[in-house]
Amino acid sequence: MVGIARRWRPMLRKPVFIGITGSAGKTTGKELLAGILTHRLRGVASPATLNVLPELAKTILRVRRAHDFCVAELSEGRPGAMARAVALLRPNVGIVTVVGDDHWIYYESRGAIAAEIGSLVTSLPSTGTAVLNADDELVLAMAAKCTAKVLTYGVSPRADLRAEDISSVWPDRLQLTLVRGAERVRLHTQLCGSHWIPSVLGAVGGGLASGLSLEECAEGIANIAPFQGRMQPVTTPDGVTFIRDDFKAPLWTVDACFDFMHTARARRKIIVIGALSLYDPPAEDKYCKLAMRAQEIADIAVVVGPGSTSVLAKCKPARAESLRAFRHVHDAAEYLKSTVLAGDLVLLKGTNKQDHLLRIIMARNDAIRCWRDDCALNSFCDVCPHRNKPSISANSADSVSVPGRATSRRQRDVKG
């Protein structure tokens, strides 16, 4: 597959190939950019979050000579991954969102992560364009090693493309004014939270680099819904709104979610903290601090996971009744099902592959029967073929029938 794509790519002379990367916001940025470009042009974009080399090859093989563009999300997952991706994609435009702590275990410094991400920028031809976040010093520094044209973006006055008059307080969505030179265009997005600004501006920069106007970029973004599991609002039939940020949860991304909840307007606010990516121990201390911060912001804070009870034991909450801990997602779902009411706003912050917090929403209308804590599948539960098969983790307790075995589970609700 990769070999075939490598031979096919040089035959595609008309399409503009655009690579987008960064520690966060690249999937949403890719979806926004695809929305902008399809407003006037024809092309393809990489599906979902599929960004490893074989998936990139499949995306390239979908491109036809008559297409105008190809947008692909590129991963810095491991050292050398970016170089292999850009060698296959041969992008004309490269967009970088932010440098964070994702994949820290392979790099151990943001500088090393930035160097890997920067491979996209240094690979661009002199006729190409690098679209760089001027608000992130590590991203902006990539311009020094770039032979292509550079278009910077951000809230910084030094940026070529700026965001001004920013507003994003739930239930309102992110709004801002796009500014480039003397041109000003008001942009209304469907996104939740001002932390999406790098993704939005990066996508607009990609649109400008592809020949679209600022007005066309704004029109293209307006209709793009939040990507699944990334600050995605879901309102249940009984009037409860969940904000799903449950695809992945590096520790460094929690602040943005908490800031969103802090300013949000709602009857009550509930924060659910699931599995986070922590790269240095002790994890209990970090979970404890997060639980205490969540309690300051929300009316109810819930910690879910194997270490939740020990975390709770270390905390000294100011309002004991507002901090809960559950070892199993099933127990948290049962508690929230009986507690959360119409008008409440619930943030789900976790890592899908580890905790599948979507089941908390599905439980409200009995749409889930699988409560395994050790599933490890990366797909969301609403499309899993096993979602209606009664099952539960071996270390759980309430009597549940599982084909070939029987387990028992004792529901546990630990109060602070």
Contact (Cβ atoms closer than 8 angstroms) between residue 113 and residue 103: yes
Q: Which DSSP letter does residue 173 get?
A: P
Do 277 and 162 lie in a common domain? no
Taking the CB of residue 112, how many other CB atoms lie within 10 A of it? 15
Distant-in-sequence, close-in-space partners of 412: CB < 8 Å, separation ≥ 6: 309, 326, 327, 328, 331
Whether residue 287 lies inside any domain: the answer is: yes
Contact (Cβ atoms closer than 8 angstroms) between residue 309 and residue 335: no
In 283-359, where do the E strands start and end?
300-304, 323-326, 345-349
Angle, to 10 degrees, between the axis of helix 254-263 and the axis of helix 283-297?
Answer: 20
Do 278 and 162 lie in a common domain? no
The structural domain count of the chain equals 2
Q: Give the end of a domain, one of 182, 199, 222.
A: 222
- The CATH number that applies at residue 251 is 3.90.190.20
Whether residue 336 lies inside any domain: the answer is: yes
Q: Which residue has the tokens 């739930």?
A: 170
Q: Give the end of a domain, one of 222, 244, 270.
A: 222
Whether residue 127 lies inside any domain: the answer is: yes
Do 236 and 217 lie in a common domain? no
Do 178 and 242 lie in a common domain? no
Do 99 and 201 lie in a common domain? yes
Do 162 and 273 lie in a common domain? no
Buried b vs exposed e over 65-81: b needs ≥16 C-beta within 10 Å? eebebbbbbbbbeeeeb
Whether residue 227 lies inside any domain: the answer is: no
Question: Which structural domain range is residue 328 located in?
Answer: 232-415
Do 399 and 309 lie in a common domain? yes
Q: Give the end of a domain, one of 173, 198, 222.
A: 222
Task: From first to last of the 416 residues of the chain, give the pLDDT tens digit.
Answer: 899 999 999 999 999 999 999 998 999 999 999 999 998 999 999 998 888 899 999 999 999 999 999 999 998 878 889 999 999 999 999 999 999 876 667 777 889 999 999 999 999 999 999 999 999 999 999 999 999 999 999 999 999 999 999 999 999 999 999 999 999 999 999 999 999 999 999 999 999 999 999 999 999 999 999 999 999 999 999 999 999 999 988 888 999 999 999 999 999 999 999 998 765 656 778 888 899 999 999 999 999 998 787 777 777 666 667 899 999 999 999 999 999 999 999 999 999 989 999 999 999 989 999 999 888 888 899 999 999 988 865 444 432 322 232 333 333 333 33
Cα R_g (the chain), whole angstroms: 22
Do 14 and 103 lie in a common domain? yes
